[in-house]
Amino acid sequence: MNRRIGWSLGALALLLLGGLSLFLYLQARPYEEVVDHGPSPTAQANPYLAAEMFLRERGLAVSHAETLAVLPQIDPHGHTLLLFGERARMTPREVDQVLNWTRAGGRLVFVAESLWDAQTGQSNDLLLDRVQLHQSLSKDLKDPPQEVEKDRFAKLTKLYLEDEDAPAYASFDTDFHLDDPNNVAQAWANSARATHMMQRVYGLGTVTVVTDAELWKTPAIGQYDNAWLLWYLSADTDVTVIYNTAHDGLWTLLWRYFPQAIVALLALVGLWLWQASVRHGPVQMPARAGRRQLLEHLRASADFLLRHNGQDVLLQALQQDILRRARHRYPGFDQLNVAEQWLALSRLTRQPTRAISQALSPRPKQRLSSAEFSRQVAHLQTLRNAL
């Protein structure tokens, strides 16, 4: 009887388990889920990767570099140079190199990096100054008319083209403004408040200056007409993008791949410093307090100054003190020439002029003997006390 009940309970459990499995199978629905792992390492290292891919899709040959060292190998004819890298350390020679390349027929597009300083008549951007364009803050400009501010695209930069009814819209940073004081620009693009792109002919080539290149980075390049504008500036040419990529430093790489070696090296350096700092010889016991008198302190201070600063510093201090006292005793002392100052000191101290000239004249480079140094100090002290 007990065995029959056990078999019945087992069969019931299997029946329930089978029913539950069938229910779950009928209720389950397959689905796909896309997990976003973020940008790839290549995209993280290259902020203009999407821009390069877009231009390649339009049939343009695109390459990138980190420095201007590649410029001599680039034929300016039918080529666009997108200078988006940091230019704070750009030298005048490199500026000449870039402008000569442009003058020979190249297209140059670069970002203005510095504000115009009206007081100095220049900015910290050598390339921007050479093309005779200035950059300022948009907040320093006059407010636009109210009807312009009501435009829902007021913060976007509009580029008007011939034979086009509507402008192209780009999302330049509206905090900055480009100015053309010498009327050298042939084309420009404005927002409601300021100008953010200017283009001028330069020799056989063209120069395009923009207030920023953030609109061509990922993901801003997919907004408005940003991608189209980049293609428009480099159409029918090969393109070289110059920018600084982010690389791990040497110490970061060493710590990543050789942490044990670095720890061992630091330990060895620490042990060497500890060994080098060990005092050699017996430790001198401190002198008794009864011997520490004022005269000993003065002698010790004088010996310390003589050892570390040399004789010239001590003699010059006395000479300066004599001149300071003379200025206090004799109004207009600084307006006298050296000979007149010595005559004035002779009258004040009742010392011969020759002795004063010997005391205050610059000393030769060679070190004085102890006796000569003592005589010189005594002579200077006599003059000082006489004042």
Give the DSSP letter string of 162-208: TT-SS-EEE---TTEEEE-TT---SEEEE-SS-EEEEEEEETTEEEE
Span 189-202, mean pLDDT? 91
Sequence-separated (6 or more) residues with CB below 8 Å from residue 306: 314
Look up residue 10 and give its two tokens: 């087992």
Higher pLDDT, 287 or 268: 268
387 contacts 380 by C-beta, under 8 angstroms: no
Span 227-237, mean pLDDT? 92
CB atoms near residue 51 (< 10 Å) = 28
pLDDT attached to residue 237:
92
Q: What's the gap between Cα 131 and its chain centre?
A: 24
- At residue 47's C-alpha, the angle toward residues 166 and 42, to 5°, is 130
Round to whole Å and give the CA distance between 11 and 339.
128
Summarised one tens digit per residue, pLDDT across range 121-166 is 889 889 999 999 999 998 888 876 665 556 667 788 888 887 777 8
Domain range summary for the chain, segments of one domain joined by +: 41-242, 293-386
Span 240-266, mean pLDDT? 77
Tell me how far apart the terminal alpha carbons of the chain are, to the nearest angstrom. 133
* pLDDT(296) > 80: no
Sequence-separated (6 or more) residues with CB below 8 Å from residue 121: none
pLDDT attached to residue 283:
63
Q: What stretch of H or E contains 81?
A: strand 79-83
Residue 368: pLDDT band with limits 50, 70, 90: low
pLDDT attached to residue 358:
72
Residue 363: pLDDT band with limits 50, 70, 90: low
What residues are paired with 211 via a beta bridge? none
47 contacts 217 by C-beta, under 8 angstroms: yes
What CATH code is assigned to 41-242? 3.40.50.880
pLDDT attached to residue 290:
56
Round to whole Å and give the CA distance between 373 and 44.
70
- In percent, how much of the chain has pLDDT > 90? 26
pLDDT attached to residue 151:
64
* pLDDT(291) > 70: no
Summarised one tens digit per residue, pLDDT across range 279-290 is 666 666 666 655
CB atoms near residue 191 (< 10 Å) = 25
Round to whole Å and give the CA distance between 144 and 363.
71
Summarised one tens digit per residue, pLDDT across range 64-73 is 888 888 888 9
Residue with tokens 């310390």: 304
83 contacts 66 by C-beta, under 8 angstroms: no
Residue 226: pLDDT band with limits 50, 70, 90: very high
Higher pLDDT, 279 or 345: 345
Round to whole Å and give the CA distance between 187 and 209.
11
Round to whole Å and give the CA distance between 211 and 136.
10
pLDDT attached to residue 379:
76
Average model confidence (pLDDT) for the chain?
81
